[in-house]
Structure 1
Amino acid sequence: MKLTTPRRAAAAAVIALAGLLASATPAATAAPGAPGSVPAGIPVSALAAPDIPLANVKAHLTQFQSIATANGGSRAHGRPGYLASVNYVKGKLDAAGFVTTVQQFTTGGATGYNLIADWPGGDPGQVLMAGAHLDSVSAGAGISDNASGSAAVLETALAVSRAQLQTTKHLRFAWWGAEELGLVGSRYYVNSLPSAERAKVSAYLNFDMIGSPNPGYFVYDDNVALENVFKTYFATLGVPTEIETEGDGRSDHASFKNVGITVGGLFAGAGRLKSAAQAAKWGGSAGVAFDRCYHRACDNTANINDTALNRNSDAIAHAIWTVGGATARSGLGTGR
């Protein structure tokens, strides 16, 4: 998450469900209020999302830490550790059958990179995107902020490949550069899209800091349909959620929201202090920051809460399968 930015004004009225979710092929809908039920009007995917292996997500975190350690201690924009991070993610996606594109931009006198990965299939006129920023601040390796989101999005993409998933929407995953300098990479991507291509993006889901060591469970409220997809999932786990406010306008979803694209996402907290009420319902320590190592050198692989990382990774997969309209899989994928 970037350091500071003015809080953006609230989005216009909630976008109608038609055009966001209605194209997904509905299956039988659970009875209202039943475990696993979803709000009225939101389709239930024909397939349940798989469990995202925590060990796999943490293996990616270890790789990002190793990259930072080998490259001066960080993965910041303009540093060799950032490009090495891009190459690591790209190599995994290429091997898994994604069509990858590296988009270059320049800021602060250095070349930056966005990595975009498209999964073949789905309606190209309705694109569901999920993304996370891949850069760290210069002070450290950025494992909570934001290798956590980057790793979970990567492992969800690899799960799509392992299942050889077919969806009604076209799936696109993204890893953004120079977020910490002011959402530079994601804004460059959005502004580079022709208006006709922009109109094809039905929703963008953002995952920035999802494994904070003293975690909360925060859900973006920019769109009620997407909000309810996540809230319903966490309800099945018996985990209460709150509306995300700390990162409003401070992460890459703002680049999409500012041009009228529907956004949603998850967040586990950054520098704000956890209240006593929040500690009572989520555990952890009251009066302590959700992430005491936020933007500091101690943001390393020890700075992660496994339970939050695991739950949020599974929630990402649930959203991709549900909102993307998963319809079939062969189980013959090559993703690792």
Structure 2
Amino acid sequence: MKLSVPGRTTAAAVVAAVTLLTTGSIAGAAPAPEAAAAAPDLPVANVKAHLTQFQSIATANGGNRAHGRAGFKASLDYVKAKLDAAGFTTTVQQFTSGGLTGYNLIADWPGGDTNQVIMAGSHLDGVTSGPGINDNGSGSAAVLEAALTVARTNYQPTKHLRFAWWGAEERGLVGSNHYVSNLSSANRDRISGYLNFDMIGSPNPGYFVYDDDPTIEKTFKDYFAGIGVATEIETEGDGRSDHAPFKSAGVPVGGLFTGASRTKSAAQAAKWGGTAGQSFDRCYHSSCDTTSNINDTALDRNGDALAYAVWELSS
């Protein structure tokens, strides 16, 4: 609060003060616009609790959460139960790939303008060789916690919010392609933006922002600039994650990524910390992609950036 400067009180000031006390506004002044709801901090402990559940599911189901395997369906059931309890309208979309049944999970938050839909999504499946905790339990857990935070805070955005967990991404973006290809042209046009989160907790992380749509890109960059973290344009995953079908259909897309098998340069290590000459994720598509394969700081920062973008773009 700014302290007032001592001095002579004018009659006008007295009138203004009385008017402010009795009406909540200064006479003659336009009422202040209602401020948009600020994005909440996404509790990283909650995100990590979801990752622990994904790890337990994988351990109990042959060590993985891959398409067509019991671990994937159990992961989907876990996410769906959380969303149903929180008041979302959930839809399970079924498809077939490689002779195996796959599923997408879509969750709509009631309210908002359904002609302006903001979507946030991630792929829920992993590869058969490991539990897939960074790839992509990290994105899936953060998107889930963002959705649960929407419910917990009873956020009522101007635009309609939709969250998605895709199946069979590791088999060639099958689930997200299925979803987009089954949208009517009218429903496709209603999506104002799709935000993708794939590998956001890499153990030797970089901070990469998709550059596909200028508005979405700026939203993420503004967040990271605000916390003093430099970013680079994401190139390693171009066309290799679930934003690609949306982009091909003309939907504005964006997202975050902390790196996979590419090597962190000396310049990047100087900027972000970590180890130069080492992969961003040495356990990419491997059995060691467990809950031990997560950088908590990267997971926390990207989760908060996710929430910031959802709130900013939907308000």
TM-score by length of 1: 0.84
Q: Which amino acid aligns with 1:62?
A: T
Q: Residue 127 of structure 1: which of 88, 96, 117 is its match?
A: 117
| Structure whose alpha-carbon radius of gyration is higher | 2
Question: What is the Cα deviation at residue 281 of structure 1?
Answer: 0.4
Q: Residue 155 of structure 2: which of 153, 157, 165 is its match?
A: 165
Question: What is the Cα deviation at residue 263 of structure 1?
Answer: 0.1
Q: Residue 257 of structure 1: which of 231, 247, 250 is its match?
A: 247
Partner of 2:20: none
> What is the rounded CA distance, in whole Å, between the counterparts of 2:263 and 2:275 in structure 1?
9
Partner of 2:287: 297
* Contact 1:211/1:268 (<8 A) preserved: yes
The answer to whether 1:277 aligns with 2:267 is yes
SS at match of 1:167: coil
Computed over aligned residues only, the root mean square deviation of the Cα atoms, in angstroms, reads 1.1
Q: Deviations over 1:48-78 (max 9, x none)?
A: 1111111100000000000000000000000
The answer to whether 1:211 aligns with 2:196 is no
Paired residues, what number?
A: 284
> What is the rounded CA distance, in whole Å, between the counterparts of 1:270 and 1:298 in structure 2?
14
* Contact 1:45/1:321 (<8 A) preserved: no
Question: What is the Cα deviation at residue 156 of structure 1?
Answer: 0.3
TM-score by length of 2: 0.89
The answer to whether 1:288 aligns with 2:278 is yes
The answer to whether 1:234 aligns with 2:219 is no
Question: What is the Cα deviation at residue 47 of structure 1?
Answer: 1.5
The answer to whether 1:201 aligns with 2:191 is yes
TM alignment of 1:95-110, pairs within 5 A: 95-110=85-100
Question: What is the Cα deviation at residue 257 of structure 1?
Answer: 0.4
Q: Deviations over 1:140-193 (max 9, x none)?
A: 000000000000000000000001110111000000000000000000000001
Q: Which amino acid aligns with 1:158?
A: L
Partner of 1:14: none
Q: Deviations over 1:60-103 (max 9, x none)?
A: 00000000000000000000000000000000000000000000
- Structure 1 spans left out of the alignment, 5+ residues: 1-26, 29-43, 326-336
Q: Which amino acid aligns with 1:267?
A: F
Higher helix share: 2
Partner of 1:36: none
TM alignment of 1:19-58, pairs within 5 A: 46-58=36-48
Asked which structure has the greater RCO (Cα within 8 Å, sep 6+), the reply is 1
The answer to whether 1:136 aligns with 2:130 is no
Partner of 1:225: 215
* Contact 1:190/1:198 (<8 A) preserved: yes
SS at match of 1:149: helix
SS at match of 1:144: helix
* Contact 1:45/1:322 (<8 A) preserved: no
> What is the rounded CA distance, in whole Å, between the counterparts of 1:168 and 1:50 in structure 2?
17
* Contact 1:126/1:169 (<8 A) preserved: yes
* Contact 1:61/1:143 (<8 A) preserved: yes
> What is the rounded CA distance, in whole Å, between the counterparts of 2:58 and 2:208 in structure 1?
28
Question: What is the Cα deviation at residue 287 of structure 1?
Answer: 0.4
Identity %: 73
Partner of 1:77: 67
Partner of 1:38: none
Q: Which amino acid aligns with 2:200?
A: I
Partner of 1:8: none
